[in-house]
Structure 1
Amino acid sequence: MPTQVILPVYTIGSWSANADDDFGCRWVIEPDGASFITDGLGRKTHNSERPFGSGAYRSRSYPAARSGALQGWCDAGTREARVAARKRLMSVFPDGGQALLVVDDGIDPQQITVELDAGVPRCAVWADGAGFGWQLPLYAADGRLLSTTERSARATLATGSTDGLDWANGGLDWANGGLDWGSSGSNNVLALANSGTATTWPLLTVTTPSSLQNPAWTDPVTGGVLAYTGTIVAGQTLRIDCSPFTTSPVTLDGIDRTGALGAAKFISLPPGSSRAIQFTGVGAGTTVATWRDANN
């Protein structure tokens, strides 16, 4: 397991920088060698020149993707260890897929999904052959930094309420000084909050002990409604991923059911916001929302 040398520690899979690895090699990020992570997230601006007037017309800007490089040096100690260290670096992305880059500053660890950018990974061998400078070009389609801690909230619907007075035993018992209405059988509000600096989106997971028809979620702040048309039965799991970065936002037991949305105002949590989302439907069911605070 890598041993921290300085903070923050940057980790992709089994490889870490600003740390000593299990083979005795020291990997260090140079000053400004992670600026594409430490710098803020850029914006995409859209505008067109006004043909018969000054200035330009503009539309709303959106956060851009994140592109740059991690760069630093590796002191392996020997030529043989340097050759092996280079191989480990070059195998961080073996098949062109994506991986999590975790940035642990010891206070608020964050993660971002990255892949190898179009640039070339570079290694510049030192004169003594015992180490090398390196550069790893990276690209993140979703440029936000997400908290490594997942947050969650739960809301339930019940087919019948346990509220009310029980007359089954022949009357009311006043001996204890009052009436006991019992506890509610449902709490249909999802309490969500985002303490980050960028918008984040929850994943909704819906289950039922019996059956649930036409579940829906309403944001009283925006008036937006997210509604699924159909029935979920015991043993099935409905998942709705509100993130715009997902390719199949709605699945029922893994099968794409995006077409079953009757209303598609996906839930979003702006930076520093909180939301009380109302969960409704016919029958009994539970919604669990999971999300991560997001930062630019």
Structure 2
Amino acid sequence: MATPVILPTYSVGGWSANVDDDFGCRWVVTAQTLHGGASRKLHATERPFGMGAYRARSYLSARSDTVQGWCQAPDFAGAVAARDRLLGVFPDGTQLALVKTDGISTRQLLVELDSTAIKIEGWADAQGFDWQLPFYAADPRWLDTTVQTAGPFTVIGTATDGLDWGSGGLDWANGGLDWGSSGNGGVLSLNNPGTAPTWPVFTIAGPLTNPTFTNPATGDVISYTGTIEAGQTLVIDTSPFTRSVALNGVDRFGFLASAQWIEIPPGGQVTVQFSGTGAGTVTATWQYAYN
């Protein structure tokens, strides 16, 4: 197991920096751009006949970062093997979690290699090299590695809410309208003390029909039309970077009657009202997010 020598440590794809690794090599970061925040995409058009500009909301841009440093190996063979390990960190072009640990928190950034190549420059004594890793992150947010959870709460019974016209009209004799006992919904409180927005994942275990999530503050609604049978699980991922709707792993995006995605703002919280019919369970999970 790699031994930290300096904080913060960085790790991605089995490779780590600011550590002594299991092969007797010391990897040290000498410069990086990871600690700065992502830039903003500005949407503005100059007013041709007036002061200033017309603008729309700005958003965080994707980010390109570079980490560079040196590696010292015990011998020439160790340096060659270390070089190969570094070049093999991203073997197939996929995104990997770059994890940063500073002794206070552990956060991750989903990255891939940028369009420029990994740079390696060998030392004269052949027992080490300088290196440079270029990263690209389509999602510019650092996510806390701890997953937050609200729920699960159990949905009980079938809703009886509404006006009962079964007796031919409204019966005021007992003091007003009797809406019955709902028992089929619940409230999820989701907070985010971070500096960037984040989005929840809703997991619904059947039996349950027509699950719906509403943000009363904004009126945003996520509504699924269909039944989740006992033993089935519906997962609704609301993040714009991983958005999906799957029932037991099978795509069900087309079953959404409403897709007004619910965002947890930076430094804030949202209260989500759930409704549905059945006796299943509902859970929300999310991660704090930082610029």
- TM normalised by structure 2 equals 0.88
The one of 218, 225, 249 equivalent to 2:221 is: 225
Deviation string, structure 1 residues 130-170 (Cα, Å, up to 9, x no partner): 11110011000001000011111113310169xxxxxxxxx
Please tell me whether residue 293 in structure 1 is matched to residue 288 in structure 2.
yes
The one of 251, 267, 272 equivalent to 1:272 is: 267
Question: Per the alignment, in what secondary structure is the counterpart of residue 64 of structure 2?
Answer: strand
Q: CA deviation at 1:42?
A: 1.1
Contact 2:13/2:90 (8 A) holds in 1: no
Q: CA deviation at 1:187?
A: 6.5
Contact 1:199/1:270 (8 A) holds in 2: yes
Tell me, in whole angstroms, the C-alpha distance in 1 between the residues paired with 2:223 and 2:38: 32
CA RMSD, aligned part only? 1.7
2:19 is matched with 19
Question: Per the alignment, in what secondary structure is the counterpart of residue 22 of structure 1?
Answer: coil
Contact 2:202/2:285 (8 A) holds in 1: yes
Tell me, in whole angstroms, the C-alpha distance in 1 between the residues paired with 2:227 and 2:185: 21
1:29 is matched with 29
Tell me, in whole angstroms, the C-alpha distance in 1 between the residues paired with 2:94 and 2:270: 35
Please tell me whether residue 157 in structure 1 is matched to residue 155 in structure 2.
yes
1:261 is matched with 256
One-letter code aligned to 1:205: T
Tell me, in whole angstroms, the C-alpha distance in 2 between the residues paired with 1:152 and 1:223: 23
Q: CA deviation at 1:49?
A: 3.1
Tell me, in whole angstroms, the C-alpha distance in 2 between the residues paired with 1:191 and 1:46: 32
Bigger shift: 232-241 or 40-49? 40-49
Runs of 4+ in 1 over 4 A off after TM superposition: 184-187
Contact 2:145/2:287 (8 A) holds in 1: yes
Q: CA deviation at 1:223?
A: 1.9
Contact 2:198/2:239 (8 A) holds in 1: yes
Q: Which runs of 5+ in 2 are unaligned?
A: 160-181
Tell me, in whole angstroms, the C-alpha distance in 2 between the residues paired with 1:186 and 1:54: 55
Question: Per the alignment, in what secondary structure is the counterpart of residue 85 of structure 1?
Answer: helix
Q: CA deviation at 1:275?
A: 2.1
Against the structure 1 CA distance between its residues 263 and 115, is the aligned structure 2 distance closer, same or farther, given a 3 Å change threshold?
Answer: same
The residue correspondences of 1:32-71 to structure 2 (distance < 5 A) are 33-35=31-33, 37-71=34-68
1:245 is matched with 241
Q: CA deviation at 1:241?
A: 0.5
Tell me, in whole angstroms, the C-alpha distance in 2 between the residues paired with 1:236 and 1:45: 44
Deviation string, structure 1 residues 81-101 (Cα, Å, up to 9, x no partner): 111110000000011111110
User: Alignment length, in residue pairs?
Assistant: 268
1:109 is matched with 106
1:197 is matched with 195
2:132 is matched with 135
Q: CA deviation at 1:34?
A: 2.0
- TM normalised by structure 1 equals 0.86
Tell me, in whole angstroms, the C-alpha distance in 2 between the residues paired with 1:133 and 1:77: 15
